[in-house]
Structure 1
Amino acid sequence: MANDSIDGEQLLALARLRSDEGRAELFAVMGDLFHDRNDILSAQERALMLDILEKLIGEVARDVKRKLALRLADAPGLPRELATLLANDDIDVATPILLRSAVLQDIDLIEVIRHRSRQHILTVAMRRDLSSAVSDALVETGDRDVIRTLLENQDANISRTTLAYLVEQSKAVDEFQEPLVRRRDLPPALARRMVYWVAAALRQALLTRFDIDPATLDDRLEPVVKQEVHEAVAEAEADSAADVLARALGADRQLTPRLLLQTLRKGEVQLFEAMFAEMSGLRLRLINRIAYEPGGQGLAVAVRGMGLNREEFATIFLLTRRARTGHASFAPADLGRALEFFDRLSLAAADTVLTRWRRDPDYLFAIRSIEEGQEKKSA
């Protein structure tokens, strides 16, 4: 398929082949089309390809499906229907889609949690940018390994109510304690509560195992507990020097796109993130995600909404790739696709999404709403 038009008859001819080689070639061709040439596919061509894949996916060797999943996991043009098919396949096929595909919606992930294997559920728990709704579904499984994996995932959004529930559960479930206290979003009040009842549990264990006067033990434990509470609360509430400086610059109206880019060029990544958060009005935790996501769509929305231009976006995109890996590790086509998205994105649409993020950082939902709106306009 060297020309720009998709030869439907050729696809159908490949689909009629019964050999493993023919099916493998068919899936490879369509995987390339969805990954590299999605922007030139018409709705009819996409529907034809998806229909063929849905009908044949159960007949194709697992290795072929695994290669297809690996190929399409990061593809923004992956149809949601195909993503859900692959996400519900055997775990070695489903893993890259569950971990990385941005086209899966919360309801798709929740369905996997409710109906697929424990390995599928553990994989979802490791996914970046989990919403609080998906996190709640993971906690509802009651599986300790799943919950611990979720708690160890610092990119997962977990509601305060769920964190409070898990703090209470950790009284009886020791393996929840360490990942809970390591979470950056653990509220100070919950951190303080954990220190007190862990100390109480330790006190009871010591009194049970050893012949110790309770008053003497309390005299020894009390100052230690107070110090631990102080440190836990201080750590939860502390602002970094970068946060303080960014807020001061913002208050003095000295934060500019030029200063933002200069900071990033110098490799002062933490200060760049704090300044980016201050300029955009977004939470630092959300900035930490959208600045380094592979596709750059979230970054494009934030930069466009802040009023920066195309060249400034391209510079930030390139420098954040380098900041994430230590070197410029991306395909040239990645920048092209990111710039294309930026060019299609109107200032009004970006501003709408930024307003939403400032209230509710459900960034994947907002990205999808933009893309769906653009598809409707172009249809």
Structure 2
Amino acid sequence: MADENIDGEQLLALARLRSDESRAELFAVMGDLFHDRNDVLSAQERALMQDILEKLIGEVARDVRRKLALRLADAPGLPRELAVLLANDEIDVATPILLRSAVLQDIDLIEVIRHRSRQHILTVAMRRDLSSAVSDALVETGDRDVIRTLLENQDSNISRVTLAYLVEQSKSVDEFQEPLVRRRDLPSELARRMVYWVAAALRQALLDRFDIDPATLDDRLEPVVKEEVREAAADAEADSAADVLARALGADRQLTPRLLLQTLRKGEIQLFEAMFAEMSGLRLRLITRIAYEPGGQGLAVVTRAMGLNREEFATIFLLTRRARVGQGGGAGFAPADLGRALEFFDRLSHAAAETVLTRWRRDPDYLFAIRSIEEGQEKKRA
């Protein structure tokens, strides 16, 4: 511990001596002063000590610098300029400052990330209470080990946008998956999406390694996935009256193609969509997309699988086009559109339509994840 009476002249005298022993003693004394007596140092004394340290820090042995960094890492009175010097030193000197010094600001850490070694960057990623700005800079490095270290650091603050980006990246970067799902701050919808990526990747791996029927595998895998995401996937919105009525009619076995057509003819579009979704077993969002798509192929698949005949399909096709125009969703359709849709309907077998509808009944997010994995495999083979 240094003498309570600080003599600037004595410090300068030690600074003028060029032996390793005198420099080590000087740094030890000033390290103690900054750490233990910073609250009683005058501005002049602090400036003198900082000036000496900054001028001599490159001339002392690395072991001396390392001991100084260890001593000052937790010192609240450490001058920021000195902390920056130590943070940019060799990694064994910089580590305690990068991990623990509270005087470093975001801009200091970002400069280290952009200009120092990979070891420096990894150390920053382990620092407690990282801001979202520093986390973004770490992610921008593109270094998988750095990003994984950041994700494993539960004390780091990562913005929702950056988390969404990393969830998307986790489709192809397996190392991100586990630390992402373990983060306490991962929003539920992103967690749900993560489960789908992992399940889709597992599905592809199983298909690559074993002779398994894809449909059979989906039948086994999908319930597990749905159970994992049930809480996160819960819809916060209240059911509409149309949804409630459609489910009640379905439960009473009163939903028929005739009632579906009557509802559509009356212009009760919301109820028609809810009934169509209930009868087909598809999500409402998916059925509304299929019902109004220009070509009508999806509509042909669903109606053929449901057992509707050619005339019923044509009626639904025409009335949904009219409803789409009435809602400002398009400028109508050409007569040839109906002809092409009917030609497709005629060629489509009931068995083939049922196979496609069964696939569409699977969770749309799950299917999207599967398609993403399959597309990635195709690109690798190309």
- TM category (shorter chain) comes to 0.5 to 0.7
| Residue aligned with 2:123, SS | helix
Shift of 1:207: 2.7
Structure-2 change in CA distance of 1:239 and 1:339 (3 Å): same
Counterpart CA distance in 2 for 1:31 and 1:332 is 87
Counterpart CA distance in 2 for 1:34 and 1:257 is 84
Larger radius of gyration: 2
The answer to whether the 8 Å contact 2:88/2:94 transfers is yes
Shift of 1:199: 1.4
Q: Structure 2: which 5+ runs fail to align?
A: none
Shift of 1:151: 0.3
Shift of 1:359: 41
Structure-2 change in CA distance of 1:94 and 1:325 (3 Å): farther
Counterpart CA distance in 2 for 1:338 and 1:39 is 84
Residue by residue, what CA displacement relative to the aligned partner does 1:221-263 show, whole Å, maximum 9, x if unpaired? 1111111213667999999999999999999999999999999
Cross-structure match for 2:381: 378
The answer to whether the 8 Å contact 1:281/1:358 transfers is yes
With 255-264 and 187-196 compared, the bigger mean Cα shift is at 255-264
Residue by residue, what CA displacement relative to the aligned partner does 1:189-211 show, whole Å, maximum 9, x if unpaired? 00100111221222233233333
Shift of 1:309: 80
Q: Percent identity?
A: 92
Structure-2 change in CA distance of 1:243 and 1:134 (3 Å): farther
Counterpart CA distance in 2 for 1:111 and 1:286 is 48
Structure-2 change in CA distance of 1:317 and 1:36 (3 Å): farther
Shift of 1:285: 36
| Residue aligned with 1:362, SS | helix
Counterpart CA distance in 1 for 2:360 and 2:291 is 14
With 147-156 and 284-293 compared, the bigger mean Cα shift is at 284-293
The answer to whether the 8 Å contact 2:274/2:284 transfers is yes
Cross-structure match for 1:178: 178
With 359-368 and 86-95 compared, the bigger mean Cα shift is at 359-368
Counterpart CA distance in 2 for 1:297 and 1:48 is 81
| Residue aligned with 2:57, SS | helix
With 339-348 and 101-110 compared, the bigger mean Cα shift is at 339-348
Structure-2 change in CA distance of 1:60 and 1:201 (3 Å): same
Cross-structure match for 2:337: 334
With 359-368 and 257-266 compared, the bigger mean Cα shift is at 257-266
Counterpart CA distance in 2 for 1:334 and 1:11 is 92
Number of equivalent positions: 379
Counterpart CA distance in 2 for 1:110 and 1:261 is 63
TM-score (norm 2): 0.60
The answer to whether the 8 Å contact 2:2/2:32 transfers is no
Structure-2 change in CA distance of 1:157 and 1:217 (3 Å): same
Shift of 1:219: 1.3
Counterpart CA distance in 2 for 1:340 and 1:67 is 82
The answer to whether the 8 Å contact 1:321/1:329 transfers is yes
Counterpart CA distance in 2 for 1:294 and 1:21 is 85
Counterpart CA distance in 2 for 1:130 and 1:190 is 21
Counterpart CA distance in 2 for 1:354 and 1:43 is 78
Shift of 1:217: 1.7
Cross-structure match for 1:268: 268
Counterpart CA distance in 2 for 1:77 and 1:344 is 81
Q: Structure 1: which 5+ runs fail to align?
A: none
Residue by residue, what CA displacement relative to the aligned partner does 1:145-175 show, whole Å, maximum 9, x if unpaired? 0000000000000001001101111111111
With 320-329 and 203-212 compared, the bigger mean Cα shift is at 320-329
With 336-345 and 152-161 compared, the bigger mean Cα shift is at 336-345
Structure-2 change in CA distance of 1:356 and 1:242 (3 Å): same
The answer to whether the 8 Å contact 1:132/1:157 transfers is yes
| Residue aligned with 2:364, SS | coil
